[in-house]
Structure 1
Amino acid sequence: MRILHSSDWHLGQHFMGKSRETEHRAFLAWLIEQVQAHQVDALIVAGDLFDTGTPPSYARRLYNQFIADLRLTGCQLVILGGNHDSVSTLHESRELLACLGTRVIGGVTTDPRDQVIVLQQRDGTPGAVLCAIPYLRPRDLIESHAGESTLQKRQALSEAIGHHYTVIYDMARQVRDDLQSAQQASGAVLGADSAASVPLPIIATGHLTCVGGQLSESVRELYIGTLEAYPAGAFPPADYIALGHLHRAQAVGGESHIRYSGSPIALSFDESRGSKQVLLVDFAAGKLDEITPLAVPVWQPMHSLSGNLTELEAQLQAHFGDGGDEAAAGPLTWLEIEVRGDDYLSDLQPRVQQLVEGMPVEVLRIRRQRSASNIALERDSRETLQELSVHDVFERRLALEENMDEITRERLVGAFDSLLQQIQDGDQNTCES
């Protein structure tokens, strides 16, 4: 059995006013090529198919065309909902897509059996059992109670997530056992050696932050105020766990079988420093056999530079000047420039534009960093309001209250988090109605 694990496509994303349609179109065409070249049995997209709950029409067209193209390869497709996705948007055509070999699990349904899927090999025989678990919204798992502390809410949500995984995993084991029994009975009738039958591997998915996971600038926090990260050790003993939400490809907790595939294109400047990939996962004799990263090509170069104006000029010449290593023909490189130094320059923007004149670049963001002995001040000088979550802003404001005791601070944080969760739930319900 061979699967391809991907996630966090964010179709429809606009990055600082720039459309990513060309990149996404190229990625989807490349992905079809990989499915064909490696004879993939099933493709799993572990959440955040779209960037918003109301994706633009071109993003929906890309999605629909990809499903039609993938159908011709004989590969199954499983789409899981993420925190950016609207459950109702994903589910609006899932019955039709099921006829095209695509299973869509946008959110938790009333029947947990909907989240157990038998993945078929290309010859039509069962190859694996999938615990198809999407992003788990707190309102789908727990009820909020007045007077609960932040710690109590965290514990309740963590236990609810663990219970959900246990229920789906136990169902998957039962499906696997039933399939094996049927296979053995069929072998006995045909006179085949029933001992040759091996259990099917169990694969699980998830869209959440795990303890120790490396975040990037473009990742929105999940479970704000209640659960920062889920411990990898709390997952059931699946043979492979395909995760989404974090945009950097990584194994979790030192466990090679628990993986984030990462996003296929850089969704923020800090993600452009590493390579992007999808994961080719092979199973043999009912167990995980091999994981092979497939490097995704870069269709839109992005680069971050930092230094004072003199240092920036040297870096720009080295990268993009005549004979520079990034001056080859192709799309303009999107640049983020961070200017270091204490001197306030009122004409910073035109100075930077003068430095890049004639170079194959487009400056999308200029940030100023002032050196200071206070680390907090240095951090704040680099941040913009867009980079902070609502929770971050509230925490920064509380930090200014020097005479506030810890009990009062904890009560305020708990009340704010509860209110924020209610607002977010209301917004999601509005989007889905």
Structure 2
Amino acid sequence: MRILHTSDWHLGQHFMGRSRQAEHQALIDWLLQQVAALDINAVLLAGDIFDTGAPPSYARELYNQLVVRLHEARCQLVLLGGNHDSVATLEESRPLLSYLGCTVIPAVQEDLTRQLLTLRDGEGKPAALLCAVPFVRARDVMQSQAGQSAEEKQLGLQQAITRHYQDLYQLAVAQRTALGEALPILATGHLTTVGASSSESVREIYVGALDAFPSNAFPPFDYIALGHIHRPQQVGGQSHIRYCGSPLALSFDELGQSKQMLLLETAGSAPLSITPLTVPCFQPLCSLRGTLAELQRSIPVALAGIADGQLLWLEVIVEGDDYLSDLQARIQQLLEGQPAELLRLRRARSQQAASLAAERSTLDELTAEEVFERRLELEQIDDTQAADLRQRYRQILQVLQEDQA
């Protein structure tokens, strides 16, 4: 059996005011080509199907198109709710879509058997068991208690999510025993795991949810298909726990990543085979940095690779000349008559300038988070250390806010 793992489509997203409808349409067309060419039996979309809880009508049309076209291709589709998705929006069409071979899991279910799915091969025979876990909201798996500290709430949620996975795994083992076949047991998840590397487009979840779930708390699944983090990566060096990443670059800092989906192949009790499928770039993006003189040389280079009929979406970060008051006009002049659109212009400030700007700001003008972030910018630490400090700071801040309430 062949299964395709994808996540974080964010249908309906506007990239700095620009619609991505054409890109998502091209993505669906490409996906259907892969399903036909590679004889894929099931597609798993591990959360953040939509970008917002109230997606625009064209995003819903793309969603319905995906379901119908995969049904016509005789390919099973499993859709998991993410933190961006509205449970109500996904639930409203769930019963209808079930008749088209699509299983939608908007949220954690009271009846856990609804989250245990049997995936079938091209001949309709059971080929894998799937513990379909969407984004887990704290209210779905635990009850808050008065007087709990932030750390106690975090630990309680971690334990509740661990129990949820363990209970589902035990159901799957019992189902496998009843079937009498050595079927692989797979799982999904939409969360941040310890050590995962994110990007600026990932909306972090801090209030009432778990910052990071330890990978060693997962039961011994044969494969765990994760969503929420947009960078494709293995978790903790374990090849069977993976983020496939988003198929489209959702922010400029995701440029340079190889966007992909993951193809899983099962064959009885044999180990799963995992093959990345590179997703083409449907909308060229570019981020350029330098002085005006350097940009005058780098912009033509960036435009050289643009195909006829395409338009480059561009971010420009100006260094050295950031004091100029007419930067926008100067950059637009460089782009005049070129197949490019300037989406964001930023002025790069030196460390010293940023420090002086911070000193000129009064505490009354800044939030507690902004003060912390400005102080953190002055430290020479890596991303992992910075993320740990942010987590500790948020926990302390939450305790103080609760004490004052």
Q: Under a length normalisation based on structure 2, what TM-score does the superposition of the two structures give?
A: 0.88
Cα displacement (A) at 1:157: 1.1
Structure 2 residue 68 is the aligned partner of structure 1 residue 83? no
Preserved contact between residue 13 and residue 19 of structure 2 (Cα < 8 Å): yes
Tell me which residue corresponds to 1:396. 370
Distance in structure 2 (CA, Å) of the matches to 1:54 and 1:162:
30
SS of corresponding position for 1:92: helix
Aligned to 1:302: 285
Give CA-to-partner distance per residue, 1:201-229, whole Å, 9 cap, x none. 00000000111111011100124475321
| CA distance in structure 2 between the partners assigned to 1:176 and 1:235 by the alignment | 19
Structure 2 residue 372 is matched with structure 1 residue 414: no
Equivalent residues in 2 for 1:210-249, closer than 5 Å: 210-224=193-207, 227-249=210-232
In terms of mean alpha carbon deviation, does 239-248 or 266-275 score higher? 266-275
Instruction: Give the percent of matched residue pairs that are identical in Structure 1 and Structure 2.
Output: 53
Mean alpha-carbon deviation: is it higher for 223-232 or for 133-142?
223-232
Aligned equivalents of 2:403 and 2:75: distance in 1? 43
Q: Using the alignment, how far apart are the partners of 2:14 and 2:357 within structure 1?
A: 26
Aligned partners of 1:6, 1:327: CA distance in 2, in Å?
Answer: 27
Shift of 1:176: 1.0
Residue 58 (structure 1) aligns with: 58
Unmatched 5+ residue regions in structure 1?
181-197, 381-391, 402-406, 421-433
Unpaired runs of at least 5, structure 2: 359-365, 376-391
Shift of 1:274: 1.5
In structure 1, C-alpha distance between the alignment counterparts of 2:289 and 2:146, rounded to whole Å: 48
What is the distance in 1 between the residues matched to 2:21 and 2:40?
Answer: 25
2:138 and 2:208 in contact (8 A); partners too: no
**SS at structure 2 position matched to 1:164:** helix
Instruction: Give the superposition deviation at 1:160.
Output: 1.1
Distance apart, 1:399 and its partner CA? 7.3
1:398–1:409 CA contact under 8 A, matched in 2: no
- Displacement of 1:400 in angstroms is 8.5
| 26-35 or 338-347, larger mean C-alpha shift | 338-347
1:292 aligns with 2:271: no
Question: Structure 2: which amino acid aligns with 1:414?
Answer: V
* One-letter code aligned to 1:366: L
* Preserved contact between residue 292 and residue 321 of structure 2 (Cα < 8 Å): no
How many angstroms does 1:95 deviate by? Answer: 1.3
Are the aligned partners of 1:150 and 1:225 in contact in 2 as well (CA < 8 Å)? no
- Per-residue CA deviations over 1:257-301 (Å, capped at 9, x if unaligned) read 111111111111111221211111111232433111111111100
Q: Judge conservation of contact 1:151–1:226 (CA < 8 Å) in 2.
A: no
Instruction: Look up the match of 2:166.
Output: 166
Within 5 Å, which residues of 2 pair with 1:11-50? 11-50=11-50
Q: Which amino acid aligns with 1:248?
A: R
Alignment-derived partner of residue 365 in structure 1 = 344
In 1, the alpha carbon distance for the partners of 2:42 and 2:110 equals 25
Match of 1:332 among 305, 311, 336: 311
Distance (whole Å) between structure 1 residues aligned to residue 374 and residue 247 of structure 2: 40
**Contact in 2 for aligned 1:240/1:288 (Cα 8 Å):** no
Q: Deviations over 1:11-33 (max 9, x none)?
A: 11111110000000010011011
CA shift, 1:235, in A, is: 1.0
- In 1, distance between residues paired with 2:45 and 2:51? 14
Partners of 1:12 and 1:408 in 2: how far apart? Answer: 33
Q: CA RMSD in A?
A: 2.6
Aligned to 2:385: none
Deviation of 1:72 after TM superposition, in Å, equals 1.4
Equivalence map 1:188-207=2 (5 Å): 198-207=181-190
Q: Does 1:355 align with 2:337?
A: no
- Give TM-score scaled by structure 1 length: 0.83
Match of 2:363 in 1: none
Deviation at 1:409, TM superposition (A): 9.3
How many residue pairs match? The answer is 383
Q: Is the 8 A contact 1:340 1:370 kept in 2?
A: yes
- Cα offset, 1:51, TM superposition: 0.6
| Superposed counterparts of 1:169-188, under 5 Å | 169-180=169-180
Question: In terms of mean alpha carbon deviation, does 265-274 or 75-84 score higher?
Answer: 265-274
Per-residue Cα deviation, 1:308-330 (whole angstroms, up to 9, x for no partner): 2111112112222xxx3x24313
Name which of 228, 241, 244 aligns with 1:261: 244
Equivalent of 2:324 in 339, 342, 345? 345
Tell me if structure 1 keeps the 8 A contact 2:192–2:211. yes
State whether structure 2 residue 273 is matched by structure 1 residue 278. no
2:175 aligned partner, one-letter code: V
Write out per-residue CA displacement over residues 313-363 of structure 1, whole angstroms, 9 at most, x where no aligned residue: 12112222xxx3x24313211001111227511111111111222222100
Q: Are the equivalent residues in 2 in contact too, given 1:225–1:418 (CA < 8 A)?
A: no
Letter in 2 for 1:395: E
Q: Give, in whole Å, the separation in 1 of the partners of 2:129 and 2:394.
A: 47
Q: Secondary structure at the match of 1:288?
A: coil
Quote the residue 2:381 is aligned against.
none
SS of residue paired to 1:284: coil
What is the match of residue 423 of structure 1? none
